[in-house]
Amino acid sequence: MGKIIAIANQKGGVGKTTTTVNLAASLAVQEKKVLVVDADPQANASSGLGVDIRQLETTIYECMIDQADPKTAIRKTDIDYLDILPSHIDLVGAELEMIQLPGRETILRKILTPLKADYDYILIDCSPSLGLITVNCLTAADSVLIPVQCEYFALEGITKLLNTIRIIKGHLNTALEIEGFLLTMYDGRLRSARQVAEEVRKHFKGLVFNTVIQRNVTLSVAPSHGEPALLYDADSKGAIDHIQLALEIIRKNN
């Protein structure tokens, strides 16, 4: 039975999609069966894994709003063991449509729970908001991975996210846990980055991953080629850091 991990932080630009795509690829090369669920209307995880979103007939939107079978929407990627349930810009309007639906907070859980039997890990790329779709992601997940960029104001908004997690744990998903806080965009030459990393470790202690994702050009360039860093440049720091993260998560979940 697989584990569903939501990658969430309502602050934009912290590396959620980068983490999702590259962690998924890194788990897949360890021969773990992985499904990426793109729950962001920007669909960057979909395009970052080589999916042409203009050609899609069925996406997560149709699954959530029209009860389409998710197995008809799942696409294979160029990496063995790695599939994706893609997104579409239509997802922007889904929150308004979902307001009318019964059990609106648990729609995604009903879609993903049957898929746990087919995968070792299901990674959900959440949008940078705390709206109804993100609530659905957290309600469907077993745990939450929170990327924190190593820049000033990094902890801004985390209190709000933790409060949302607490509410969801209390009312919708009692089993929800924090998988860990992941330090991203780290540049060891900058005193501010070192201070932020120290502050996050002091604050969240053992919940912070040992692996740190360093600032790396490959992580910025690879998505424009529709590839994770591993395929674009396997020797890059970005690729190596995510392999380390994947191994840390596998160890933790064994």
**Residue 102: what pLDDT?**
87
The residue that leads in pLDDT, 187 or 130, is 187
**Residue 53: what pLDDT?**
87
pLDDT tens for 233-249 read 999 999 999 999 999 99
**Residue 159: what pLDDT?**
86
pLDDT at 110 over 80: yes
**Residue 133: what pLDDT?**
93
User: Nearest 5°: phi and psi at 94?
Assistant: -65, -35
pLDDT at 174 over 90: yes
How confident is residue 130, by pLDDT bands cut at 50, 70 and 90? confident
Across the beta sheet with 208-214, what order do the strands follow?
75-76, 82-85, 34-39, 121-126, 3-7, 143-149, 177-186, 208-214
Query: What does the DSSP assignment read for 189-250?
Result: T-HHHHHHHHHHHHHHGGGEEEEEEE--HHHHHGGGGT--HHHH-TTSHHHHHHHHHHHHHH
Q: Name all domains of the chain by residue range, CATH numbers in brackets.
A: 3-253 (3.40.50.300)
Percentage of the chain beyond pLDDT 70 is 100
**Residue 69: what pLDDT?**
96
